[in-house]
Amino acid sequence: ETGVTQSPTHLIKTRGQQVTLRCSSQSGHNTVSWYQQALGQGPQFIFQYYREEENGRGNFPPRFSGLQFPNYSSELNVNALELDDSALYLCASRLDRVLSYNEQFFGPGTRLTVL
Amino acid sequence: DQQVKQNSPSLSVQEGRISILNCDYTNSMFDYFLWYKKYPAEGPTFLISISSIKDKNEDGRFTVFLNKSAKHLSLHIVPSQPGDSAVYFCAASGTGTASKLTFGTGTRLQVTL
């Protein structure tokens, strides 16, 4: 069984640029969530996608957007990058949004540095 | 506003002894609580969880206790092993928001020989 994978591992961008991060869910998982983990903090929920639609969003501005594809892989897009966007971005997948709670499986993350 | 708090940034325990990691929460709507373990350069790994209808859940060396009246939970690791050295995150979710986890800031556990 393939776990959650993310690409790239590391990324350096400059302020004002745009970035796309990618995630492949664990096999059979149709719900994906994205989290931002700043240095010294716990992960913060950005949004969740279920069957290609955004379903739940945390306290992040609209310049954070996402996509989920029919194969349940996902992208996180961030426009107009700011220095504070420097963080570890984590993708997590779970089996089905409508079932009773089940655990989320996290990928290794993408380390984004904004200069 | 930090709804899930882990007030101890770090903890050092001798191998074989008990490790106790604590977590407090403020949101009464949380009804499911989880502990994740994180090694450097890896994503968080699910460890153990507890529903608000229970006050204890065990899985091998790991036990989670929930005190709803105090809005407090703790993770006990017995006996502690060097491989347990990692950052431990407490997380919580509310009804209908099962995918939205609210995390604490983490406690770094070091198990010494």
Q: With an 8 Å Cβ cutoff, are B89 and A101 in contact?
A: no
Q: Stretch A86-114: mean pLDDT, rounded? A: 84
Per-residue pLDDT band at A103 (split at 50, 70, 90): confident
pLDDT(A38) > 60: yes
Chain B residues at the A interface, defined by Cβ less than 8 Å, are 4, 6, 32, 34, 36, 41-46, 49, 51, 89, 91, 93, 97-106
- Tell me the C-alpha distance between A30 and A92, whole Å: 11
pLDDT(A101) > 80: no
Per-residue pLDDT band at A55 (split at 50, 70, 90): confident
B91: three-class secondary structure by DSSP: strand
Nearest CA in chain B to A99: B98
Counting beta carbons within 10 angstroms of the beta carbon of residue B102, is it exposed (0 to 12), middle (13 to 18) or buried (19 or more)?
buried
Residues of B in contact with A40 (CB under 8 A): 105
Residues of chain B above pLDDT 90, percent: 84
- Residue type at B84 in one-letter notation: D
Q: With an 8 Å Cβ cutoff, are B99 and A56 in contact?
A: yes
Per-residue pLDDT band at A27 (split at 50, 70, 90): confident
| A46 Cβ neighbours under 8 A, 6+ residues apart | A33, A34, A35, A36, A57, A58, A60, A64, A66, A76
pLDDT at B72: 97
Measured between CB atoms, which of A45, A105, A108 is closest to B100? A45
Measured between CB atoms, which of A44, A56, A103 is closest to B49? A103
CB B44 within 8 A of CB B36: yes
pLDDT at B58: 97
Per-residue pLDDT band at A26 (split at 50, 70, 90): confident
Q: Stretch A67-71: mean pLDDT, rounded? A: 91
CB A109 within 8 A of CB A37: yes
A45: three-class secondary structure by DSSP: strand
B1-45 per-position pLDDT tens digit? 789 999 999 999 999 999 999 999 999 989 899 999 999 888 999
CB A89 within 8 A of CB A36: yes
- Tell me the C-alpha distance between A36 and A48, whole Å: 13
- Tell me the C-alpha distance between A8 and B3, whole Å: 31
pLDDT at A102: 60
pLDDT(B111) > 70: yes
- Residue type at A44 in one-letter notation: Q
pLDDT at A99: 53
- Residue type at A23 in one-letter notation: C
CB A87 within 8 A of CB A39: yes
pLDDT at B8: 95
Q: Stretch A23-43: mean pLDDT, rounded? A: 90
